[in-house]
Amino acid sequence: MFSTIRGRIELLIFLVLIPTLAQVVFNAFATRRRERAEVQLQASQITRLVTATHERLAETTDHLFSALVRIPAIAGDHSAECQTALASILEGADRFQNLGVASREGRVTCSARPVPRAVPLGDSVWFRAASGRRTLIVGGYELSSLAPGPTVVFARGTASGNHIVFAALSLTWLSGVIGEASLPPISSVTVLEESGTVLARYPDHARWVGRDVSSSPIVATALAHNNGVTEAAGIDQVVRLYGYRRASMTAGSDFIVTVGIPLEVAYAATDRHLRVNLALLAATTVIILAAARYAMVLTRRIEGLLRAARRLSAGDLTARTEDTSTSDELGELARAFDTMAWALQGRTANMQQMTESLRGLAARLEAVREEERTRISREIHDELGQYLTGIRMDVDRLEEHVQRAELPDSDRRLIKAKIQSARALVDATLDTARRISRQLRPSVLDVLGLRAGIEWQLEEFQARTAVSTELLADENLANVDEQSSLALFRILQEALTNVARHAQATSVTVRLAREDRTLMMEVMDNGRGFAHDERPSPRSLGLLGMRERAATFGGETVVTSQPGRGTTVYVRLPLNSGSATS
C-alpha cells in the first residue's frame, strides 16, 4: 500500500494529523485533570478554612467558659443574676444562640434565653460527655429548645463538678465563612455531619440546614471516601464537578465539605482551549489537504509517466504520457519521454522494415539455395548417375569380352581383378552420388511427402549415430505444401545435428501433428539438457537458422531444456491456404 508515492503521501498526512489530534485530545484531558485538581484544592482550602474557624471558635468558647465559671453570679445558685449576666454576654457574642448552666442532674439552672425548666438534658450525648470533665465537648447537630434554631452545643464541666456550662452555637457563621471563599457563580458548598445532615449550605443556607441528604449521590460518595473529585448530582439535583474532603471536629467528630462547580464553568477553559486547538487543527488539515491535493495532482502525472514507461518497456511503442500542457519539470520530463518514444517507435519501425527486408532476402536466398540444391541434385542424379551407370554397363560388357577372349590364364585373372575393382569403384561412386543427391534434395520428400521424408531422415540419423529414433505422426499430413514441408524438414535436420553434437542422447522422439491450419513438430531427446544460464546464445547459427526458417512462414521455434532431462525443440508453422485440407 505504501510502496507508491500516493500511498506515502497519505501515510505522511496520517502521521502529521494523528499525532496532532492526539496532542489536542491529550491537552484537553490534561486541562480537565488540572481543573479537577483545582476543584479538589478549593474543597481542601474551604475545609481548612472551616476547620480553622471552628478551632478558633472552640478555643474562644473554652476561654469564655473559663471566664464564666469565675463569675459569682454564674457559679452560684442565683438564677436571676446568672440569667442577666449571661444575657449581657450573649449580646456581644453573635456566633452563639444561647448560653446557659445546667446541674449535673440535667436541669437547666440558668440560661441567657428563656427555656423550659423541664427540658431534660441528661439524655444528650454532649451532656453525658461533659459530666465530670473540665475539657471542652462538642456535640452534634440538633434541634433543641435551648436555641431558637438548629445548633451545635459546646459544653464543659465546672471545677466543682456540680454544674455544666453550655453554649448553643449558631450555624450561620459557617455560611459566612463559606461566602468568603472566591467561587464561580452557581457554585455550591455544603458542610455535612457524618450522618449526612447539612450543617451549612451556600447558597440557600436556611433551606438546607438540618436536612438529611445522605441519599444524594454526591453525599453518598463523600461519606464513603475521605477526599476526591467526581461529577455527580448535588443535593439540589444539579450536576456539577464536586470536590469533597473529610475533616475532624475538635472533640473528634468528623464533618465533610463538598464544593461543587458547574460543569460549564469548571471546564470552560478546557472547552475554550479545545475549540481553539480544534480550529487550528482544522486550519492545518485544510492546508495539508490542499497541499496533498496538489501532491496528488503531481502523483497522478507521475503515475501517468510511469504507466507510459511500463507500456513502453513491455513493447508498446505507441505509449505516450500526453502531459505536455505544463512547463514545469514534470512537463519537461513528459515531453522528453514522448520525444524519446516517438524516436524509438520510428527507429523500431525502420528496424522492423529492415528486418523484414533481410528476412525476405534470406528467404529469397534460401529459396535460391534450395533451387540450386535441387538443380545440383537433379544433375548429379540424372547426368552423373547416367554416366556412372553407362560406365558400369561398359565394365560389364568388357568382362563378358574377356571371358570369351583366348587369353593366358594369368592375364585373364589380372584383367578380371581390374574389372572387379573398377566395378566396385563405380558402384561406390554411384552410391556416393545418390547419397549426395538425397542430401541436397531428398527425392522421397518430393515424391512421398513430409512424413516419409522425416522417416527417411530419422533412419539415416540412427544409422549414422546409433541413436534410436521414433516418429509419432498424425495421419492427416497429406497435401502439405512443398515450402512448409521443406522448412520443417530443414529444421529437423538442424535439430538432429545439435543432438549429435551436444546432447549426448541415446534416443530421439519426433512428434508431428496438424491442427486446422497449423503444423506442429516436437523434437525431444533424453540427453544431458542445459540450465537457463547455459542456454545457447540467440546468435547461435543453428538456433538462429531454425527460428528464421519458421519466422519466414509466420511461425515460431521454442527451445526448452532442463539439466538431466533432455531438450525439446517445438516448431509451429501456419499452413498456406492451398494445403489447409487433407
509, pLDDT greater than 90: yes
How far, in Å, CA of 321 to CA of 546, rounded?
A: 39
Same domain, 400 and 357: yes
378, pLDDT greater than 80: no
Tens-place pLDDT, residues 254-287: 778 888 877 777 666 667 777 777 787 778 777 7
How far, in Å, CA of 84 to CA of 416, rounded?
A: 190
Give the strand order in the sheet containing 198-202.
198-202, 188-193, 254-262, 239-248, 227-233
Boundary-marking domain end, from 153, 170, 187: 170
Same domain, 340 and 411: yes
Same domain, 466 and 390: no
Same domain, 408 and 507: no
316, pLDDT greater than 60: yes
508, pLDDT greater than 90: yes
Same domain, 150 and 83: yes
Structural domains of the chain, count: 3
Reported confidence tier of residue 469, pLDDT bands at 50, 70, 90 = very high
Report the CATH number that the domain containing residue 82 is assigned in CATH: 3.30.450.20
Q: The whole model's pTM is what? A: 0.42
Tens-place pLDDT, residues 386-436: 777 888 888 888 878 877 777 787 877 888 888 888 888 888 887 787 777
Average pLDDT, the chain: 78
Is 509 inside any structural domain?
yes
Reported confidence tier of residue 347, pLDDT bands at 50, 70, 90 = confident
Boundary-marking domain end, from 112, 136, 170: 170
> What pLDDT score does 278 carry?
77
Mean pLDDT of 338-357: 82
Domain interval for residue 406: 330-424
Q: How buried is residue 67: exposed, middle or buried, by Cβ count under 10 Å (0-12/13-18/19+)?
A: exposed
Is 286 inside any structural domain?
no
Tens-place pLDDT, residues 60-87: 888 888 877 777 766 666 667 788 888 8
Comparing CA positions, the residue from 527, 503, 506, 511 lying closest to residue 454 is 511
Same domain, 334 and 417: yes
Strand, coil or helix: 110 = strand
Mean pLDDT of 339-350: 85
Reported confidence tier of residue 525, pLDDT bands at 50, 70, 90 = very high
Strands 254-262 and 188-193: antiparallel
Report the CATH number that the domain containing residue 518 is assigned in CATH: 3.30.565.10
Reported confidence tier of residue 385, pLDDT bands at 50, 70, 90 = confident
Same domain, 525 and 476: yes
Same domain, 361 and 459: no
How far, in Å, CA of 410 to CA of 420, rounded?
A: 16
Tens-place pLDDT, residues 118-148: 667 777 777 877 777 777 777 776 777 787 7
Is 464 inside any structural domain?
yes
Is 118 inside any structural domain?
yes
Is 183 inside any structural domain?
no
Is 268 inside any structural domain?
no
Is 284 inside any structural domain?
no
Same domain, 554 and 459: yes
Is 508 inside any structural domain?
yes
Same domain, 528 and 476: yes
How far, in Å, CA of 396 to CA of 63, rounded?
A: 174
Boundary-marking domain end, from 120, 153, 170: 170
Give yes or no for a contact between 433 and 385, defined as CB atoms under 8 angstroms apart. Answer: yes
581, pLDDT greater than 50: no
Same domain, 412 and 463: no
Same domain, 419 and 381: yes
